Chains A and B, each alone.
Chain A
Amino acid sequence: MNTITILLLTFTLSVTGLFIFIWSLRKNLFDDNPAAANIIFSEGEIGKVEEPAATRSQRDAMQKAVDSTHSQAGDPARGERYRTELAERIQADRSTAFVSFVFLSCAVVWLIFASSAGLVSSIKLHEPDFLTSQAWLTFGRLRTLHLNSVAYGWAPMAAFGVAIWTLPRLLKTPLMGGRFAILGCMLWNAAIIAGLGSVAVGISDGLEWLEIPWQIDILLVVGGALIALPLVFTLQNRRVEHLYVSIWYMGAALFWFPVLFLVGNMPGVHFGVEQATMNWWFGHNVLGLYYTPIALASVYYFLPKIIGRPIQSYNLSLLGFWALAFFYGQVGGHHLIGGPVPGWLITLSIVQSMMMIVPVLAFSVNQHLTMRGHFKTLFYSPTLRFIVLGGMMYTLSSVQGSFEALRSINTVTHFTHFTVAHAHLGLYGFFSLVMFGAIYFVMPRVMDWEWPYPGLIALHFWLVVVGFGIYFIGLSIGGWLQGIAMLDATVPFIDSVRLTIPYLQSRTVGGAIMTLGHLVFAFHFISMALRYGPSRIGPALFHKPAAPIAAPAGA
């Protein structure tokens, strides 16, 4: 049998296995609206908006928009159960407040650092003699500082902060062993500082995404394990029967990442071309099996929670999760199309890249159907704006990624700025926007304080959306033209460089606007941490003046 036949057979077998597995996880597979989807709501909470980041009038308007689609059923016995559940949630929130705050604060610091490094790197690509006298400021190092401070600073700190806050809520139990997470956070940040310092002075393992020297990686592994411990303890103490969708994603991601990181950084094991396949197995999976699941988990929690409506289809989310787990892990080879690696590996990765359309559609359809009839809430809810737009960017970047893996398209886009634009669509347009939204939701609960200047949230939103729009559209066009020029042997190579200049400049403009947005966000975050602005007046959960059930403050 030839390789292709074996590949095809293995593929068919594993996909069949996957579906049998999904089926086995789910009794009553074709239930319309299973209880598991409602697990994030307390008694009587469906149909009520929760949006701590909104002002009072925004919330009233949101509730009005939601009310028009729901009929409220009155049941006095619910009141008591409801009050207990809310008390539990407050307990869960209190237990995570400090831990989440520490993680999110670190995230904001890294965001600002990473944006600045990225912006200067971007300028250097069209002003090559800008800041060249110091070795640590050279493009090759500054770009690496940008990537690493996003990949190991902003993204995981935000992801951990949001995950640690969300999981106890979903499991209806307080966070167990939060101190381990704090210790882990300190080790992790120490490791990033050491790692970035090493890269800046030129000590690097030399692999993209894995530059931090492996000796420092040990610290990251220990820190990461300490951060994961409380999540394991909390899971063991859960008081819910159903594990909600978000828990699958977060739980799996928090177990996937250590394995990836450990295998990727194992010194002295990988060699030559094999190291390249490992490199992209890691590089793509860190996105696909760590950042993506955490952001999807956030969408699956915050979106239904904000509009007070369970996700449309629990089964679709089940399919989406396992298809992602199965297909995403094997797509990394598409970074080596045309390279000196075994042909079967490339073919496999292209097939799995196309198969990624399955989980992406499952998610997108689910998000759209859940939002249907509720799009008006986007006007009022700051969190929702970030999260829904981020979710749409997920669809866009994943579908784009699937097609980019096709040989015909890859031949043009590989080795060009088009890939850079695509990477930012995923990690910024999707992941970072969702994290912004989640932080806007989480922080008022963490601080027990409202966002002091609601106008700044809107300003942040529009700055990053406009900035990123310029960044992405400009760089994609430039990258595509660059690829076309490189494929034409009659065009001198330098022309493929020259023609990108205006697009690289537009990237700097877009990047500068994005950075400005981040500064607004950081300023707002600090103001909140210092408790500027109005103090909370009354409960934030319900804002119908004649609500029959009074929620305890801060729920």
Chain B
Amino acid sequence: MENEVKLLSGAMVTLALATATLVVVPYLQLSDVQPSDGLKAYTSAQIRGREQYIKNGCVYCHTQQPRSQSQAPDFKRGWGRASVASDYFYDSPHLLGTMRTGPDLFNIGARQPSADWNLGHLYQPRAYVPGSIMPSYPYMFEVKDKAEPGDKVVSLPPSYAPPGQVVVARPEALDLVEYLLGLDHTYPVPGAAAAAQ
């Protein structure tokens, strides 16, 4: 090869092809996707909670994309039906995830609807799930001698509670739990039955 113009234009054409197939065509195809019926827009607390989810890198261990029943037992594990593009209408950035070091969270709000459970689990996952390797998030909580008015006290199993003190959730923990509880995509979507096959 002697011609750098040919080299670089060839290289750019191949990249343009890749960009067209993986970015531009999906962009065109998906740009008119409407939100699923039953999908609610995030509240401001949930958006703040979603920020916490991003900040603390939850996405590196948890997916938000249950697979179809024909491929994997995600549904049987209670993670929900296979997701479709319209379920992600309000998601920016997307948080599909690539690892299941922990379980899928696309329907965690339906599976664990208790705010207390979720708060306590963030404070010390091993208090609720023995053998869990999820990090604990003590920096989202405050340990106080006495709760003040307006404080959200976390109810922990006695052996994990600091003796004589109370654990109070900081706003970031409350927002994050608000977001997690909102993760409920159990409403039916058209074609879901077909997708499940």
Which A residues have a C-beta under 8 Å from some C-beta of B? 14, 21, 25-26, 36, 124-126, 128-129, 132-135, 138-141, 143-144, 202-208, 235, 241-243, 247-248, 251-252, 255-256, 259-260, 263, 270-281, 285, 289, 318, 322, 325-326, 328-330, 332-333, 335-336, 338-342, 345, 348-349, 407, 411, 414-417, 419-420, 486-489, 493-494, 496-498, 501, 504
State how many angstroms separate the Cβ of B6 from the closest Cβ of chain A.
7
> B42 near A: Cβ within 8 Å?
no
Sample 14 A-B pairs with CB under 8 A, ordered by A number. A14-B17, A128-B136, A135-B139, A139-B57, A252-B7, A252-B11, A270-B27, A274-B31, A275-B92, A289-B15, A329-B15, A330-B21, A335-B98, A411-B71
In the complex, A132→B85 CA distance in Å? 36
Task: Write out the residue numbers on chain B whose beta carbons fall within 8 Å of the beta carbon of A322.
Answer: 10, 14
Interface stretch, picked from B113-121, B127-135, B150-158, B174-182, is B127-135
Interface digits, B46-64 against A, CB 8 Å rule (1 contact, 0 not)? 0000000011111111010
Given A243-B1, A318-B1: A273 in contact with B98 (beta carbons within 8 A): no
Q: Are the CB atoms of B68 and A272 closer together than 8 Å?
A: no
Q: Are the CB atoms of B29 and A25 closer together than 8 Å?
A: no
Q: Are the CB atoms of A248 and B7 closer together than 8 Å?
A: yes
Which B residues have a C-beta under 8 Å from some C-beta of A? 1-4, 6-8, 10-12, 14-15, 17-19, 21-23, 25-27, 29-31, 33, 54-61, 63, 65, 67-68, 71-73, 76-77, 82-85, 87-89, 91-103, 125-126, 129-139
Q: Are the CB atoms of A278 and B134 closer together than 8 Å?
A: no
Q: Are the CB atoms of A242 and B132 closer together than 8 Å?
A: no
Q: Are the CB atoms of A339 and B65 closer together than 8 Å?
A: yes
Task: Write out the residue numbers on chain B whose beta carbons fall within 8 Å of the beta carbon of A138.
Answer: 56-57, 135, 137, 139
Q: Are the CB atoms of B55 and A243 closer together than 8 Å?
A: no
Task: Write out the residue numbers on chain B whose beta carbons fall within 8 Å of the beta carbon of A129.
Answer: 126, 135-136
Which of A36, A255, A318 has the most CB atoms of chain B within a 10 A radius of its CB?
A255
Cβ contact of B77, chosen from A26, A273, A335, A489, cutoff 8 A: A489
Q: Are the CB atoms of B133 and A128 closer together than 8 Å?
A: yes
Q: Are the CB atoms of B17 and A330 closer together than 8 Å?
A: yes
Interface contact tally, CB-CB below 8 A: 238
In the complex, A143→B103 CA distance in Å? 19
Closest chain A residue to B67, Cβ basis: A338
Q: Are the CB atoms of B56 and A208 closer together than 8 Å?
A: no
State how many angstroms separate the Cβ of A58 from the closest Cβ of chain B.
35
State how many angstroms separate the Cβ of A406 from the closest Cβ of chain B.
13
Given A411-B72, A498-B131: A235 in contact with B94 (beta carbons within 8 A): no
Cβ contact of B2, chosen from A243, A278, A420, A487, cutoff 8 A: A243
Task: Write out the residue numbers on chain A whose beta carbons fall within 8 Å of the beta carbon of B97.
Answer: 415
Cβ contact of B18, chosen from A330, A335, A341, cutoff 8 A: A330
Q: Are the CB atoms of B84 and A124 closer together than 8 Å?
A: no
Task: Write out the residue numbers on chain B whose beta carbons fall within 8 Å of the beta carbon of A339.
Answer: 65, 67, 83, 96
Task: Write out the residue numbers on chain A whose beta carbons fall within 8 Å of the beta carbon of B94.
Answer: 207, 272-273, 275-276, 279
